[in-house]
Amino acid sequence: MNRFIAPAAVAGLMSLPFWSMPTWAAQSGGADTMTTKLIARDALFGNPDKAQARLSPDGKFNSFIAPRDGVLNVFVAPVGKIGEAKPITNDQKRGIRQHFWAYTNRHVLFIQDEGGDENWHLYAVDVVSGEQRDLTPFKGITAQVVGLSWKRPGVVLVGINDRVPEWHDLYEIDLATGERKLIERNEQEFAGYEVDSDLVPRLALKTGADSNDVLRRTDQGWLPLISYGRDDSLTTNLLTIEGDGKSALLLSSIDRDKSALMRIDLASGKQEQIAASERADIGRVWLEPKTYRPQAYGIEYLKPEIKPLGDAVKDDIAFLTSKLGDSFDIGSRTLADDRWIVVTDEPQAPAVSYLYDRKTTQLDKLFEMRPQLSGAPLVPMHAMEIKSRDGLALVSYLSLPPGADKNGDGRPDVPLPLVLNVHGGPWARDTYGFDPEHQWLANRGYAVLSVNFRGSTGFGKSFINASNREWAGKMHDDLIDAVQWAIKEKIALADKVAIYGGSYGGYATLVGLTFTPDTFACGVDIVGPSNLNTLLATIPPYWKSFFEEFATRVGDPRTEEGRKLLAERSPLTRVEAINKPLLIAQGANDPRVKKAEADQIAAAMKAKNLPVTYVLYPDEGHGFARPQNRTSFYAITEGFLSQCLGGRYEPVGDDFEGASLEVLDGASYVPGLEQALGSKK
């Protein structure tokens, strides 16, 4: 069995799925930062040159995603002959962004939706015949890949919600014929299943108002195995059933603060701790491909760390660390576990994929994701802690413009305009590594600060639970505390701070301009909710199992008290407080944060004669997948910020070509936007 998380199956508002691809252009300016070469937008936010390297289970083929006629598709080459790669898919719309191999060694699987609606379908491509098949050809469904197994290579286990939209039944689908067989009718309304190496559902998760229950299949039916409360629900989850079928692995914060790696006996329920850290949750686990035994685990506090479990991969980690540094991970591996795809991630060294032969300790470079960025003026990322007003440590990341920090101490020589870049989720986190938005904004002359406010993941359950019902409350206080810290440390100019973000970060932007209107000079809201009552009333039906999380952590719309809280914490109720420019960007097909969320705030501002620029993408959802749309959005944002903060901007040029954007309001508020729209026509 392999574990896969289909995007539609991940609850929460989430971060935006931005790709980045490199290339850079020169433009001259004034002294210091202004003389630095300007990195072109399409370099950072266009399609990658190559990405997502994968190995076939037998190690004979190497696959990856790359542009075909400007659209991301899957390519396959014999291992060691990447120059002979040929495309095996021909998507001509949004591009393929996630692919993986079946154990047949001749089928590549990928998921795709239509226009960002997140009605994901699962496709299989036969790399020998070239035949492509939609394995889930049903309207209005969102497929979830539940399992693949080397013991049963010809089938895939898929969750499909065609019977009722809220719940996924389990089907076994033949990769060669597309024939499906019902394995489990989900009448118990389970949130998800864990299957063994024979693809038999053995464990199931049942979510409730007060607790989550993991049940095990027995001859007497589904019986309780473990139960945990809402305090542990975002820091406890099943990983896999181990190969012998007798035990399972889980990450658990039960009776502790940080998630530990645990093993649980499926017969007795007895648990043993395998690994733990007092600094951060365990966030990733390396599993042996056949037995699913854990080989290593990773944590990330300020920066990522990987630690071996026993001797299985101890020498490999030491060797790879000596060659690549600390920031690497396994992207793919063969069934024999003799070859790995290893991927690096450094702030100033965009991702590089390597083929690693464990037997010979041969490490061969496959490709750079952004080869044209070699020599570009990329800047360091500084990892640090910022204290909140009530004493929490907020792990944060700061990037400064080229030439702004001559002694390299993480402080600019003079205070700068600052962009507070707020992550989505909110149950996600900012991490250390290459960040195209940090590089873009720093290159334009801004300090860029990303803050892991309370509610961010990876720092233990108490840090998450401190955010319960604190949207626009203490979660926002953390962001304000970080801004005040940056001003006090002479990093930021007090009157030149912008707030920017997508999804929850878009909500934080709206909160910033309504709850603390004098703190920020302007804001950029990307697919952010403006009304929490309407947000929770329109979440996708297949998120029903996650609804209690929203009720506990945001507010319960089923009660009068909850509805009142949601209204109080909604930016829409305070729209009259806005006195600074706002840019809104929205995907028309967004199933998580509906277009109505942007419509409401834009209409309210327009009715009060407040300046707002509203950009809509008719063929996008929760984030912008098409590169033409991404680069057009960043072109608009760059002009908007230049007027607000005074930084550099690259002329629009041809960045609107092929984009679907519609500017519904406020084109005149962004320099050059009206002219660019005119030339687009």
Q: How far apart are CA 450 and CA 419, in angstroms?
A: 9
Phi-psi region of 105 (alpha: psi -120 to 50; beta: other; left: phi over 0): left
Amino acid at 594: K
Residue with tokens 């409401």: 600
Neighbour-count burial of 122, counting CB atoms closer than 10 A to its CB (0-12 exposed, 13-18 middle, 19+ buried):
buried
Beta bridge partners of 87: 75
Please choose, from the candidates 655, 619, 654, 622, the residue with its C-alpha nearest in 3D space to the C-alpha of residue 637: 655
Contacts of 94 (CB under 8 A, 6+ apart): 71, 112, 113, 115, 116, 619, 625, 626
* Residue 523 DSSP symbol: E
* Coil/strand/helix, residue 478: helix
Q: State the DSSP H helix or E strand holding residue 633, giving kind and residue range, or none if neither.
A: helix 627-645
Residue 503 is given by DSSP the state: T
Which residue carries 């098949």 as its tokens?
A: 133
Cα 228 to Cα 10, 201, 213, 252, 462, distances in angstroms: 20, 21, 7, 10, 15
Strands 107-112 and 447-451: unpaired
- Residue 431 CB contacts under 8 Å (≥ 6 apart), including other chains: 300, 304, 397
List the one residue out of 481, 454, 485 whose CA is nearest residue 470: 454
Q: Is the peptide bond before 415 cis (omega within 30 degrees of 0)?
A: no
| 667 vs 661: CA distance, rounded Å | 12
Distance CA 187, CA 212 (A): 17
Q: CA-to-CA distance for 6 and 53, rounded, in angstroms?
A: 18
Question: Can you give the three-state secondary structure of 59-98, one letter per residue?
Answer: CCEEEEEEEECCEEEEEEEECCCHHHCEECCCCCCCCCCC
DSSP letter for 104, please: T
Contact (CB, 8 A) for 641 and 29: no
How far is Cα 94 from Cα 112, in angstroms, rounded to an integer?
9
Q: What is the DSSP string of 206-262?
A: EE-SSEEEEEEEETTEEEEEEEEEGGGTTT-EEEEE-TTSSEEEEEE-TTSSS-EEE
Mode of pairing for the β-strands spanning 221-229 and 211-218 = antiparallel
Taking the C-alpha atoms of residue 648 and residue 369, their distance in angstroms, rounded to an integer, is: 26
CB 256 within 8 A of CB 271: no
φ and ψ of 562, to 5 deg: -65, -45
Positions annotated as catalytic residues are 503, 590, 622
- Could you tell me if 547 and 538 are in contact, meaning their C-beta atoms sit under 8 angstroms apart? no
DSSP 651: -
